[in-house]
Structure 1
Amino acid sequence: MFTVQDKRFKIAHKEALIGVVLVIINFAIWYGFAYGLGSGDPLQYKYILGFPAWFFYSCIVGTVFMIICVWLAMKLFFKDISLEEEDKHQ
């Protein structure tokens, strides 16, 4: 079975922490633009490509930004490890 000292747990915990940080960044971007730019009078909204600026930045630009961040995190920080149990008796 897996042992507490198994290096895969350390890797998995690091990768889970990176995932949580990415979620927090995504929420902060979305919340900041949606409620920062979208909290004013709707008659005063600025529009980009037909979308209110708050929606464009929080949902469209924010999504593209997060896709790039996740891709970079996968390339730079995540490791491909075997999930097969290592047989230490041989």
Structure 2
Amino acid sequence: MKDNRFKIAHKEAKIGIILVLINFIWWFSFAYGFGSGDPLEYRYILGFPEWFFYSCVIGFLLMVLLVYIVVTFLFKEVPFEQDEDGRENS
């Protein structure tokens, strides 16, 4: 009989990988999308180049929000301890 905690852990690991991919795609798209032009033509937001502001500042805030939502609504608390019979403590 497979321990249900492994099923939960695998699901949460897949969610974590999806979050990493979202972060990378967001960062890469803005950093190389806006940042690939001539530096003399960059636009600035709050003193940062536009590519940096969107990829690093907004991207960071977006990921903090996404991680908060995922941890709050999708992740489950899982007991680490087992009984002597190998069952979970409740």
Give me the TM-score of the superposition, normalised by structure 2. 0.91
* Mapped pair 1:5 → 2:6: no
Unpaired runs of 5+ residues, structure 1, are: none
SS of structure 1 residue aligned to 2:77: coil
Residue 78 of structure 1 corresponds to which residue in structure 2? 75
SS of structure 1 residue aligned to 2:78: coil
Q: Which digits, 9 at most, give the CA deviation of each residue in 1:54-83, with x for residues without a partner? A: 000000000000000000000111000101
1: CA distance, partners of 2:49 / 2:39: 9
Counterpart of 1:19, as a letter, is G
More relative contact order, 1 or 2 (CA 8 Å, 6+ apart): 1
CA spacing shift, 1:89–1:35, aligned 2, 3 Å: closer
Identity of aligned residues (%): 54
Task: State the 1:85 CA deviation.
Answer: 2.0
Alignment of 1:39-78 (within 5 A): 39-78=36-75
Residue 87 of structure 1 corresponds to which residue in structure 2? 84
Counterpart of 1:12, as a letter, is A
Matched positions, count:
87
2: CA distance, partners of 1:40 / 1:56: 15
Task: State the 1:89 CA deviation.
Answer: 7.0
- What's the RMSD between the two structures over aligned residues? 1.5
